[in-house]
Amino acid sequence: MKRYLDIVIIVLSLCFQSGWSQETQIVEDFKPSTMNQSEKQFPQVNSQRRVRASIAAPNANKVQLDIGGVKYDMRKDANGVWTGESNLQDEGFHYYQLNIDGASVPDPGSLYFYGAGRWGSGIEIPSRDQEFFELKNVPHGLVIENIYFSKLINSFRRCFIYTPAGYYENTKARYPVLYLQHGSFEDETGWSSQGKANLILDNLIASKKATPMIIVMDNGYAFKPQSNEAKEKKERPESIFEEVLITEVIPMIDAKFRTIANRENRAIAGLSMGANQTMRIMMNNLETFSYYGGFSGTANYPSTDPLDASTFLDGKYKDGSALNKKIKLFWLGLGTKEPAPFPKSVGAFRTMLEQQGIKYDYYESPETAHEWLTWRRCLYQFAFKLFK
| Residues 105-126, mean pLDDT to the nearest whole number | 96
Q: What is the pLDDT of residues 270-324, one digit of tens each?
A: 999 999 999 999 999 999 999 999 999 998 887 877 788 878 887 677 778 989 9
Q: What is the pLDDT of residues 31-79, one digit of tens each?
A: 999 999 999 999 999 999 999 999 999 999 999 999 989 999 999 999 9
Distances (CA, A) of 58 to 29, 55, 199: 27, 9, 41
What is the CATH superfamily name and number for domain 26-126? Immunoglobulins (2.60.40.10)
Helices (H), 101-227: 197-206
From the list 138, 263, 124, 117, the residue with the least C-alpha distance to 203 is 138
Reported as a pLDDT band with limits 50, 70 and 90, residue 13 is very low
Task: Please count the other Cβ atoms lying within 10 Å of the Cβ belonging to residue 288.
Answer: 16
Whether the pLDDT of residue 18 is over 60: the answer is: no
What pLDDT was estimated at residue 316? 74
Helices 197-206 and 372-383, packing angle to 10 deg: 30
For the chain, the C-alpha Rg in angstroms (whole number) is 24
What pLDDT was estimated at residue 303? 82
pLDDT above 70 as % of the chain: 94
Distances (CA, A) of 154 to 76, 224, 225: 51, 9, 7
What pLDDT was estimated at residue 296? 97
Inter-residue contact 201 to 215 (CB < 8 Å): yes
Residues 6+ apart with CB under 8 A from 307: 298, 299, 300, 348, 349, 352
Q: Which CATH architecture has domain 131-383?
A: 3-Layer(aba) Sandwich (3.40)
Q: How far is CA 231 from the centre of its chain?
A: 31
Q: What is residue 222's DSSP assignment?
A: -
From the list 74, 182, 68, 70, the residue with the least C-alpha distance to 125 is 68
Q: Tell me which amino acid residue 213 is.
A: M
Q: What is the pLDDT of residues 43-55, one digit of tens each?
A: 999 999 999 999 9
Q: Tell me which amino acid residue 302 is.
A: P
**β-strands 31-32, 70-73: how paired?**
unpaired
> Cα 301–306–310 angle (5° rounding)?
100
> Cα 58–59–63 angle (5° rounding)?
80
Identify the H or E element spanning 326: helix 320-326
Strand-pairing partners, residue 148, are: 157
Residues 6+ apart with CB under 8 A from 281: 241, 242, 245, 246, 268, 289
From the list 299, 265, 307, the residue with the least C-alpha distance to 279 is 299
What pLDDT was estimated at residue 108? 96
Interatomic CA distance for residues 8 and 16, integer angstroms: 12
Domain positions in the chain are: 26-126, 131-383
Q: Tell me which amino acid residue 146 is.
A: N
Interatomic CA distance for residues 135 and 141, integer angstroms: 12
What's the pTM?
0.91
108: left (phi over 0), alpha (psi -120 to 50) or beta: alpha
159: left (phi over 0), alpha (psi -120 to 50) or beta: beta
Identify the H or E element spanning 250: helix 250-256
Q: How far is CA 330 from the centre of its chain?
A: 19
Whether the pLDDT of residue 5 is over 60: the answer is: no
Whether the pLDDT of residue 1 is over 80: the answer is: no
Considering only residues 302 and 15, tell me which one the structure prediction assigns the higher pLDDT.
302
